[in-house]
């Protein structure tokens, strides 16, 4: 007990006990605040990861739509005919025959 004063001893004991309780609880409170902050920041990082994944999926879908649209807009029949004509042309033989015809004409 404290030294005798004009204040009742029970009051000083109650105040001292309250102060000790506050000091005793403060490490637990601080740690609980740290845990709460850690949980909140972890939740935010998961939210950011989900948002980034959704944006990546939207970009992939847009690229797929553009590619399919490009494939559907091509005139495939005309392209295949032109490609086959280029592949079947015998340019060196045609040039030689043109050269011989030009020499024969001179």
Q: pLDDT tens, 1-18?
A: 556 667 777 777 777 777
Task: Calculate the CA dihedral of residues 17, 19, 25, 29 and round it to 10 degrees.
Answer: 150
pTM summary value: 0.47
Q: pLDDT tens, 37-69?
A: 999 999 999 999 999 999 999 999 999 999 888
What is the reported pLDDT for 48?
97
Domain boundaries, the chain: 9-73, 76-106
Q: What angle do CA 42, 23, 26 make, to 5 degrees?
A: 5
Q: What is the average pLDDT value for the chain, to the nearest integer?
A: 82
What is the reported pLDDT for 39?
96
Q: What angle do CA 51, 53, 57 make, to 5 degrees?
A: 115
């Amino acid at each position: 007990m404290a030294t005798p004063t004009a204040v009742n001893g029970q009051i000083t004991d109650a105040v001292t006990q309250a102060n000790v309780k506050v000091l005793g609880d403060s490490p637990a409170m601080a740690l609980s605040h740290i845990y709460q902050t850690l949980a909140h920041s972890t939740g935010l990082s998961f939210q950011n990861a989900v948002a980034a994944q959704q944006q990546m999926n939207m970009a992939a879908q847009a690229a797929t739509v553009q590619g399919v649209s490009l494939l559907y807009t091509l005139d495939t029949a005309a392209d295949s005919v032109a490609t086959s004509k280029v592949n079947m042309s015998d340019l060196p033989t045609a040039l030689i025959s043109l050269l011989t015809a030009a020499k024969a004409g001179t």
